[in-house]
Amino acid sequence: MEVLCEKKLESGENLTVLHWCSAEKAPEKYKNYLMQSLGADNLKRNFYAIGSWRAYFSDVLDGVYYPEVTDHFFFAEVNGEIAGRVWFAYSGKSLRGNFGNVMTEEKFRKKGIMSELMKYCMDEIRQCPVRMLTCATGSKIAAASYKKCGFYSVYDTETGVLCYSKEEPFLTEAEKVFRPGKIKEIRPGRIGDQFDCDKFLAYTPEIRKRNYPYFGGPAASIEEFRSAFQESLGGRGVVFTALNEQDECCGYAFGVLYHGMPIVDFMLHPAYAEDGRKLLSATISAFREKFGFVPFYMGYEGDVKKNQVVGSVRHELQTVALFKPFLL
C-alpha cells in the first residue's frame, strides 16, 4: 500500500489517502472492509450480483488475476478507520476497463473525502496504460461529479453510461470494433474479457437500446460476464467468449446451474448474429460434457434476432421457453 496523502480535515480529524494496485497482496484489513461494505449502499441490488463482486474482489486483493487484469483501489482513512474507496480496473489486452465502486461510508460524508480520493484516482488514470474506462450511474449528482473529472455521457444524457477516453470516443471505437463480419474464434472465457463484454459490448447502442432486456428468466440473475465467470470458477458453470475478425470480444455465452436449474444464455452483437450458432453450440456442448445433462433456455417472445440464434440450436437444448416481458 502506498500512502499518497496525510492531512487534517476541517473537523480536525486526520485523513490518509492510500493506493493499492495489483499484483501486490492487499492487507487483510482492506479485504475484510470490502467484503463487509459491498452492497451495503444498495439493498435493492441483486444479491447474486453482490456475491459475485465479493468473490471477484476477494481474488483481486490476493493478486490472483494480475497481469490479465490490473486493479487499482484508492482508500481513505479517517483517524485510522476506512472511510471510503474508489476503484478502477482494466484488461491487459484491450486496455479497456471499468471505473466504479465509489463509496463514502455514511458517518464520514460531507467532509470532502471523495474529492480527495478522486483527485488521486484521476491522476493515476491519466498516467497508467488504460485507454478507456466506462461506468453507468442513475445518480445525477454522481454523473455530474464524474463529468467534472473528464468523463462524458456516451448518449448525451444526464445519467446512464459515462466514459473516459484517452483516444477515440466510445461510439467511434465501437463502430470500428463491431464491423459486420464473422466470428473468428470461440474459446473459454477469461477474466480479462469482463471489461470488453460488460463495459464495452454491453454499452453499445445495439445492446443497450434493445427493445427487450437481454437476459430473461433465471439467467437475469447472472447479469454479466463477470458473474458467469465466477460461476465457472466455482465449478457451477461454463462460459465461452466469441472473438471477431478484429480479435475483439463480440459476444459470450454461459451455461450455469442456477439453484440446481441448468440454464444457458448469451449476449452477442447483432453484427455477428448469423454466426451465433457457433457460440451457443460450443457452450451447450461444454455444459453437457461437464454436468451430464442438457440446459434449457428462457427468453422473450418477439426478440427476433436472439430467438433466431436459439432456434438454430434448438435440437441441442432441453427446452426453449419464450414469454412476454413484465411491464412495470
Q: What is the pLDDT of residues 23-77, one digit of tens each?
A: 889 999 999 999 988 865 554 455 567 778 888 999 999 999 999 999 999 999 9
pLDDT for 233 equals 93
For 219, how many CA atoms within 13 A lie in the half-sphere containing its CB?
A: 24
In terms of domains, do 311 and 239 share one?
Answer: yes
pLDDT tens digits, residue range 97-106? 999 999 999 9
**Per the structure block, which three cell numbers stand in for 189?**
472465457
**Per the structure block, which three cell numbers stand in for 46?**
441483486
| Cα gap 150→152, rounded to integer Å | 7
State whether the Cα torsion 186-188-190-195 is positive or negative.
positive
In terms of domains, do 248 and 278 share one?
Answer: yes
175 part of a folded domain: no
| Cα gap 248→244, rounded to integer Å | 5
pLDDT at 21 over 60: yes
In terms of domains, do 136 and 194 share one?
Answer: no
172 part of a folded domain: no
175: CB partners within 8 A, 6+ apart? none
pLDDT for 48 equals 60
Output the domain CATH number for residue 34.
Answer: 3.40.630.30
In terms of domains, do 205 and 224 share one?
Answer: yes
In terms of domains, do 207 and 279 share one?
Answer: yes
Average pLDDT over residues 304-312: 95
| The amino acid at 236 | R
Our count of domains for the chain comes to 3
Average pLDDT over residues 277-294: 97
Domain enclosing residue 147, as ranges? 131-167
221 part of a folded domain: yes
pLDDT at 279 over 60: yes
Instruction: Evaluate if pTM is beyond 0.85.
Output: yes
Is residue 135 very low, low, confident or very high in pLDDT (cuts 50, 70, 90)? very high
**Per the structure block, which three cell numbers stand in for 147?**
463529468
pLDDT at 204 over 50: yes
In terms of domains, do 318 and 233 share one?
Answer: yes
pLDDT for 223 equals 86
CA 175 to chain centroid, in Å, comes to: 20
Average pLDDT over residues 71-87: 97
In terms of domains, do 300 and 314 share one?
Answer: yes
pLDDT tens digits, residue range 230-253? 999 999 999 999 999 999 999 999
pLDDT for 47 equals 56
Strand partners, 18: 3, 75
pLDDT for 328 equals 44
% of the chain exceeding 90 in pLDDT = 88
9: CB partners within 8 A, 6+ apart? 15, 78, 111, 112, 113
215 part of a folded domain: yes
pLDDT for 54 equals 86
